[in-house]
Structure 1
Amino acid sequence: MAEYGRIIGIDVGTKWIGLARTDLLKTVANPIGTYYVDDVFEALEEQVENENVEKIVVGWPLTPEGEEGRAIKMVEEFLAKLEARFPDIEVAKIDERYTTKEAVRAMVEAGVPKMKRRESDRVNQAAAAIILQKYIELVKADNVRITDRYI
């Protein structure tokens, strides 16, 4: 990874897509928003135009047993659109098992009221940040380079 730049993390859902990004040193992931499926590419375009985006990491929906889940087809279709729209940006996939549960648990620990936790936009962007943070930690811990395989 280059010294200064950002990585975008994406949690793909059927209606909503959560986005997160790293700081310029790629050490911390922060949520940046949740977007309706039809609007997410405008938000991504803005990030790519205004930030030094080096890579995009997409959550890969595996079952608890580690098999590819029902949502794989939806994510594959999203990935095809993403790669066509941003052909010069590397895209990686990472196991997203339990990220939604982790996002809800983190909001509980942070004291977010129950009604606010039920808002899917908060959960999606928090899940995107967790997906991205896991990626950062795995790359740093293992010094791995991920291309088209998921972790």
Structure 2
Amino acid sequence: MQRITNCILLKEDHVLLLKKPRRGWYAIPGGKMEQGETIKESAVREYREETELELNDPVLGGIFTFLIYNGQTLVQEWMMFTFLCRSYTGSLTNYCREGELEWITHDAIHTLPMAEGDRKIFEHVLVSDKMLYGSFSYTEDHDLIKYRLDPPSP
């Protein structure tokens, strides 16, 4: 099972997001854990690699399971650990090999193209400090089939 970490960096009423070139979807900066890393070490490293920003005291905000189906057949499963952070040091890079980095207002997030599961995560973390647990099922074409969240969506 693949393990992914990412971090939602909050700065006033903005969030730093990564616009991926393949689909033009916005995503939370992060990536795959390396062997032997803690989830926090992975989140900090991945964030630094993509943004050149050093996160100060990120806090775990959510743990999620993702299931990818081809028809009724499960073809992939992975876990994602999402951190939240309100403080950083450094200067944002001018170039990210993963896509374009943009500061997005909280109000604009609901209109951006992104995975529907990510949208559900933002709906929670922008209004609550409670840990969020979830499971998302997708088709191989990235269509959300079903999801469960604890606590449930408002």
| TM-score (norm: length of structure 1) | 0.32
Q: Higher strand proportion, which one?
A: 2
**Structure with greater contact order relative to length (CA < 8 Å, sep ≥ 6):** 1
| TM-score (norm: length of structure 2) | 0.32
Q: Higher helix proportion, which one?
A: 1
